[in-house]
């Protein structure tokens, strides 16, 4: 069963990494991965937090800071160092087939810290604003998904790395939002 999953994951990786090749995606996907390009979006989330929660914004920012710290350490250190799965661009059997658009890095692949962190942030703010901005979760889901799938497209993660990161990050974000909303006396 495990062999079937890894073979399917590798096939799906190659389908995305090789099959989707396009000059537009070659330019956009590396850009999507870079956190500094998202600073205006993060500022927008800060503004929304202040607008809907006023002085409680400090709890929200503290919550997101702790959330990112926990989700990043969980995915980048605990899980990656436990599973030690090679990145596709470092796998001797696969790296000649990888359409690599960024530095491969020396770290492990499973699970994607980008996916974990961005889905944690997306779930967190989706929960915080679900009453005030009902459809906002769709934008957050799209944002986290684009950043995550770009990890596969640029050649540094398998789809399963992204999927696992998305699930864990979403769970972390949900729990963190529940805790912060409890502290701010807001009801879901």
The rounded mean pLDDT for the chain is 94
Digit-coded pLDDT (tens) for 163-177: 999 999 999 999 999
User: Total structural domains in the chain?
Assistant: 1
The DSSP code for 126 is: H
Domain that holds residue 113: 38-183
Asked if 81 and 134 touch (Cβ cutoff 8 Å), the reply is: no
Domain membership flag for residue 159: yes
At residue 187, does pLDDT exceed 60?
no
Per-residue pLDDT averaged across 93-119, rounded? 94
- 12's tokens: 């799906």
Q: Quick one: pLDDT at residue 182?
A: 78
Domain membership flag for residue 2: no
At residue 94, does pLDDT exceed 50?
yes
The DSSP code for 77 is: I
Per-residue pLDDT averaged across 122-142, rounded? 96
Digit-coded pLDDT (tens) for 146-159: 999 999 999 999 99
Domain membership flag for residue 12: no
Lowest mean pLDDT segment, chosen from 9-13, 32-36, 119-123: 32-36
Asked if 115 and 145 touch (Cβ cutoff 8 Å), the reply is: no
> Which residue did the predictor score with more confidence, 94 or 2?
94
Q: Quick one: pLDDT at residue 171?
A: 98
Domain membership flag for residue 15: no
Q: Quick one: pLDDT at residue 184?
A: 67
Domain membership flag for residue 19: no
Domain membership flag for residue 1: no
**Residue for token pair 């398998």:** 158
Domain membership flag for residue 80: yes
Digit-coded pLDDT (tens) for 44-84: 999 999 999 998 999 999 999 999 999 999 999 999 999 99
Alpha-carbon distances of 53 from 2, 30, 97, 125, 177, rounded to whole Å: 46, 34, 49, 12, 13
Percentage of the chain exceeding pLDDT 70: 97
């Amino acid at each position: 069963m495990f062999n079937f999953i890894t073979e399917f994951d590798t096939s799906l990786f190659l389908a995305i990494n090789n099959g989707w090749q396009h000059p537009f995606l070659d330019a956009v996907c590396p850009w999507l991965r870079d956190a500094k390009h998202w600073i205006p979006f993060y500022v927008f989330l800060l503004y929304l937090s202040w607008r809907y929660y006023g002085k409680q914004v400090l709890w929200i920012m503290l919550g997101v800071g702790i959330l990112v710290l926990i989700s990043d350490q969980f995915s980048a250190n605990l899980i990656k160092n436990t599973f030690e799965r090679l990145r596709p661009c470092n796998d001797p059997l696969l790296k000649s087939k990888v359409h690599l658009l960024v530095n491969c890095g020396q770290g492990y692949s499973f699970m994607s810290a980008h996916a974990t962190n961005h889905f944690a942030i997306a779930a967190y703010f989706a929960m915080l604003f679900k009453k005030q901005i009902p459809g906002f979760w769709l934008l957050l889901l799209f944002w986290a998904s684009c950043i995550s799938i770009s990890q596969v497209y640029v050649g540094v993660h398998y789809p399963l790395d992204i999927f696992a990161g998305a699930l864990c990050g979403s769970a972390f974000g949900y729990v963190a939002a529940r805790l912060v909303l409890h502290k701010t006396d807001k009801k879901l």
